[in-house]
Amino acid sequence: MPATTIVWFRHDLRLDDNPALAAAAARGAVVPVYIWAPDEEAPWEPGAAARWWLHGSLGKLAAALAKAGAPLVIRRGGSLATLREIAAAVGATHVTWNRRYEPAVVQRDTAIKQALAADGLTVESFNGGLLYEPAHVATKEGKPYQVFTPFWRALLARDEPAAPVAAPRKLVPPPKQAAGLDVADLGLLPTIPWAGTMQKTWSPGEAGARKRLDAFLERPLTNYGTDRDRPDHAGTSGLSAHLHCGEISPRRVWHAVRDAVGGKPAAKLAGSPEVYLRELGWREFAGHLLFHFPHTAAAPLRADYAKFPWAHDPVGLRAWQRGRTGFPIVDAGMRQLWATGWMHNRVRMIVASFLVKDLRVSWLEGARWFWDTLVDADLAANTLGWQWAAGCGADAAPYFRIFNPTTQGEKFDPDGTYVRTWVPELAKLPAGDIHQPAAAAASVLSKAGVSLGRDYPEPIVDHAAARKRALEALKAVSKGK
């Protein structure tokens, strides 16, 4: 009996280096399926910006699969019931997918795998989203890592990640077809036009991912180590959303970077190329932590921080969300996020520190806002980043390490270019004043056309006083109060 395999696409919206698709194509007929079932991922169902991205990515995937010979079947509804229905319609013998590691999805996929196997189907899953399977990376004692540096050393000590596999040239469709929806039927796009800048900024899909990778590698990698910290420079790869949706595999990126510097093993690289691969290592570490500590999506890894006295400050939270804090680098970052669905990583650390330390608002409030507004909203990375900022997670910066938003702006945006881009009301201020307009002379403000409190807000907190309050709150945790 000829094999017919359902390939269940999720966070692997590509044909290139897709283990589940490759296995199905090698076996016989292929039925690509995408199921929109956000409720099954609660409480972390995709946010608004991620849905916008998904709309574009699914459209590109559908076109690529159709060209290869096997149209994408798009459905909405319960995943198990939908897979069973499609399997019956096309006479499927196998179902395959690439694994995901979010807690709710792991539970769901485990139950679906058991149910479909009980139906008589052969069910296979593959690692298509990480360099290594999280369960296969452990300390000498067999425990998961909780500190990045030894985790990274352990990765470098392993064999290089497997080489990526090229996309199948031709897919064989099944004799029987299953009906599906159009991407537009999923209602992923916003009902009000807030995504205009995102549309101009990003190109969702596999081709967009490869184009962005190629553009990144055309620049000298030697500058990445310093440029990645400068939000006023185009110094990062911008691949995070493409990686999250699986439009490009981390193995493809890993090997492309190595090839760009002569194919040296990662363990022998130094300088900027090693720094970039280490960033892929951080992505890997985030997945490792979420897999082994699934409770961290909603609770601190360091249990003592469950007692931290977070402040209830809806006014401050709203000012932070709107980019109206009176601290230019913070406001620039939050406005960049709202406009483009993305924020420079250095600025993510600055705005996160401001929320959890200057305002003392819970990291979960920040995580939820990022989740809804980031096109690269990834549960593992979001959790790791916010717990790092709050000092309550793995590899956490000590809570008393509190970023000064003014000096951070002066250091990483020295000419004020980033602030001028996203906070245009301050554009005419000289570089020496743009990161602290509240301290600028009245004549300087007047010449720049800035009236504090009218054109741009006064600082909503005194940083020195806020820092003192944050350290007092930390004492309450350390003393067990």
Q: Where in the chain is the domain with CATH 3.40.50.620?
A: 3-127
**Domain 3-127: assigned CATH number:** 3.40.50.620
* pLDDT at res. 477: 78
pLDDT score of 264: 87
Give kind and range of the element (H or E) at residue 316.
helix 314-322
Annotated active-site residue in 345, 404, 410, 425? 345
Going by the DSSP 8-state scheme, the letter that residue 456 receives in this structure is: B
Active-site residue 8, yes or no?
no
- Selecting among 310, 404, 410, 425, the annotated active-site residue is 310
**Dihedral sign, Cα of residue 42, residue 333, residue 340, residue 204:** negative
> Where in the chain do CATH 1.25.40.80 domains reside?
129-164+205-292
Please give the chain's pLDDT, 481 residues, in tens.
Answer: 689 999 999 999 999 999 999 999 999 999 999 999 999 999 999 999 999 999 999 999 999 999 999 999 999 999 999 999 999 999 999 999 999 999 999 999 999 999 999 999 999 999 999 999 999 999 999 999 999 999 999 999 999 999 999 999 999 999 999 999 999 999 999 999 999 999 999 999 999 999 999 999 998 888 898 899 999 999 999 999 999 999 999 999 999 999 998 888 888 888 889 999 999 999 999 999 999 999 999 999 998 888 899 999 999 999 999 999 999 999 999 999 999 999 999 999 999 999 999 999 999 999 999 999 999 999 999 999 999 999 898 865 565 679 999 999 999 999 999 999 999 999 999 999 999 999 999 999 999 999 999 999 999 999 999 999 999 988 877 765 5
Residue-level pLDDT at 1:
61
Residues with Cβ within 8 Å of 428's Cβ and at least 6 positions away in sequence, in order, are 447, 448, 449, 450
Q: Nearest-CA neighbor of 33 among 59, 64, 72, 5?
A: 72
- Range(s) within the chain of domains with CATH label 1.10.579.10: 303-478
Identify whether 282 is a catalytic site residue: yes
Per annotation, catalytic residue among 282, 404, 410, 425: 282
DSSP string of 226-275, one letter each residue: HHTT-TTS--S---HHHHHHTSS-HHHHHHHHHHHTTS--GGG--HHHHH
CA-CA-CA-CA torsion sign (217, 223, 224, 227) = negative
Q: How many helices (H) and strands (E) does the chain have?
A: 20, 5
Give me the catalytic one of 279, 404, 410, 425: 279
What is the residue type of 116? L
Q: Which of 460, 448, 232, 427 is nearest to 355 (CA)?
A: 460
Residue in 97, 152, 342, 386 annotated catalytic: 386
- For residue 395, the model assigns a pLDDT of 67
For 303-478, give the CATH class.
mainly alpha
pLDDT for res 398: 62
pLDDT tens per residue across span 29-64? 999 999 999 999 999 999 999 999 999 999 999 999
Closest residue by Cα to residue 230 from 60, 413, 466:
413
Q: E strands within 135-246?
A: none
The active-site residue out of 363, 371, 388, 422 is 363
124 φ, ψ (degrees, to nearest 5): -130, 145
- Topology, domain 129-164+205-292: 1.25.40
Distance in angstroms (rounded) separating the CA atoms of residues 440 and 455: 15
> Does 363 participate in catalysis according to the annotation?
yes
Please indicate whether residue 310 is annotated as part of the active site: yes
| Residue 279 falls in the annotated catalytic set | yes
